[in-house]
Amino acid sequence: MTGKAVAALLTLLLISALGTEGKALARSAVELRCQCIDTHAKFIHPNFIQNVNLTPSGPHCKNVEVIATLTDGREVCLEPTALWVKLIIKAILDK
């Protein structure tokens, strides 16, 4: 290849690379990592729990994650092996 052909090829590559810069992939609905760093095992009265999200273990995280949204808006990761959490999960699954 001649020097002009190489320069033209490099110019085309740079122009095509500039067209892709700054584009973000759409964020997936499922995070590909664990959401809970630490878990809360102490009892929380059901009146203070607004919503409970149960995420089974899988390729995103080896742990079962139970995330409770409290009435004040905070999200708390619950210990899935705690007896009271197991009872909440059972009640949700039985509905």
DSSP string, 3-53: HHHHHHHHHHHHHHHHHHTT--PPPPSS-SS-S-SS-B-S---GGGEEEEE
| Angular region, 73: left φ>0, alpha ψ -120 to 50, beta rest | left
- Residue 73 structure tokens: 């808006």
In degrees and rounded to multiples of 5, residue 63 shows phi and psi of: -100, 145
**Bridging pattern class, strands 49-55 and 65-70:** antiparallel
- pLDDT by residue (tens digit) across 60-95? 899 999 999 999 999 999 999 999 999 988 888 887
* H or E segment and range at residue 85: helix 83-94
The whole-number pLDDT of residue 93 equals 81
pTM given for the model: 0.63
Number of separate domains in the chain: 1
Domain that residue 53 falls in: 3-94
pLDDT at res. 6: 62
Looking at residue 74, which CATH number applies to its domain?
Answer: 2.40.50.40
Give 26-65 pLDDT, tens digit per residue.
334 556 788 998 999 999 998 999 999 999 999 889 999 9
